[in-house]
Amino acid sequence: MESRQLGTSGLRVSRLGLGTLSWSTSTDAEDAANQLVAFVDAGGTLVDTADIYGDGEVERLLGSLLGNLVPRESVVLATKSVARRGDGPFDGGASRGALLSALDGSLRRLGVDHIDLWQLHAWDNAVPIEETLSALDYALRSGKVRYVGVCNYTGWQLATAAASMRDHRIVSIQSEYSLLERGIEREVMPAAAHHGIGVLPWAPLGRGVLTGKYRTGTPADSRGASSVYANYVEQHRTERASRIVEAVVTAAEGLGTSPLSVALAWVRDRPGVVAPIVGARDKSQLAGSLASESLTLPAAIRAALDDVSAIEFGYPERWPS
């Protein structure tokens, strides 16, 4: 697998990241272990988790696999904090106290002495950004964290945070981005490009819809049929989405590949994108994502997909034209 520089930082990561959200629901420990081995064997390095996944159990599981199953040094370990984990005063949010408490908890559960990429899971309106960023600065100076990023920020939030960092830099932003969700192209991606921040798309397959599995119904073993994820998937089951999915399927048939590979290759090679984060239920599902590594979309197909999935830009993003 090829690697890419994360923004303008010196950190290099595989151009596909392994997500672990499903490890807390539909993926058991054996399947998780098989996924991690297959990912690393394919040349993957970026593994992404969060302290909130499975109430911390996903970090514990991942930590048990590092060193025992794959070398710790072969993985760029990324996790997130901010989401509320309990009712205590330091059990969530982006205050200095809450973040540093969360960091210590992640280090303990993962069983490591440092995290390669520590990310703020969300913006916190209740906390001054200077206080939040002071926790990031401390974590970096202490050596507990090597690089820092953010997730789900708007354009102005990203630009504010990037400009307010003192001695260090924000190197990444995780945002939902796919052929079905291109909203970050309006302001987030321009802000990221201006500040040298790499984009790590989550849900690059449109929450599974771009694989084509929902074209004729809802498979019983799919997330769309799950009480946990049904609403999450339903947001992308629209008439517009159907048109885009059909275009992806047509492109895949013409290229002799899968809709999954087409959708993933499209987002992977968008300007500013470093590594889409893919989640899989098991090793065989992950293999479908890994297969996209060999696919580069022809210019004509990329242009057609750009067109069918285009979003509207208005004032001031496209002013003057």
Query: Could you read off the pLDDT of 298-321 as tens digits, one per residue?
Result: 999 999 999 999 999 989 887 665
- Phi, psi torsion values for 180, nearest 5 degrees: -90, -15
Phi–psi pair at 179, nearest 5 degrees: -60, -25
Report pLDDT for 86. Answer: 84
CATH of domain 3-206+270-292: 3.20.20.100
Distance of alpha carbon 298 from alpha carbon 307, whole angstroms: 14
Instruction: Parse the chain into domains and list their residue ranges.
Output: 3-206+270-292
Q: Look up residue 192 and give its two tokens.
A: 């990221």
- Give the residue from 268, 258, 256 showing the smallest Cα distance to 302: 268
Assess contact for 55 and 67: CB atoms under 8 A.
no
Query: Do 253 and 247 touch, CB atoms closer than 8 A?
Result: no
Q: Would residue 53 show up in a list of annotated catalytic residues for this protein?
A: yes
Q: What value does the CA radius of gyration of the chain take, rounded to a whole number of Å? A: 19
Question: E strand or H helix at 175, and its extent?
Answer: strand 170-176
Taking the model in full, what pTM does it have? 0.95
Query: Which ranges of the chain have pLDDT less than 70?
Result: 220, 223-225, 227-228, 319-321
177-224 residue pLDDT tens:
999 999 999 999 999 999 999 999 999 999 999 999 888 777 767 766
Q: How many residues does the chain have?
A: 321
The helix/strand/coil state of 118 is strand
* Residue-wise DSSP of 65-91: HBTTTB-GGG-EEEEEE-S--SSSTTS
pLDDT at site 216: 77
Quote the crossing angle between the two packed helices 29-41 and 57-65, to the nearest 10°.
50
Q: What is the pLDDT of residue 192?
A: 98
Buried-state track 193-211, b at ≥16 Cβ within 10 A, e below 16 = eebebbbbbbbbbbbbbbb
Cα distance between residue 275 and residue 44, in whole Å: 10
- Check residue 81 and give its pLDDT: 97
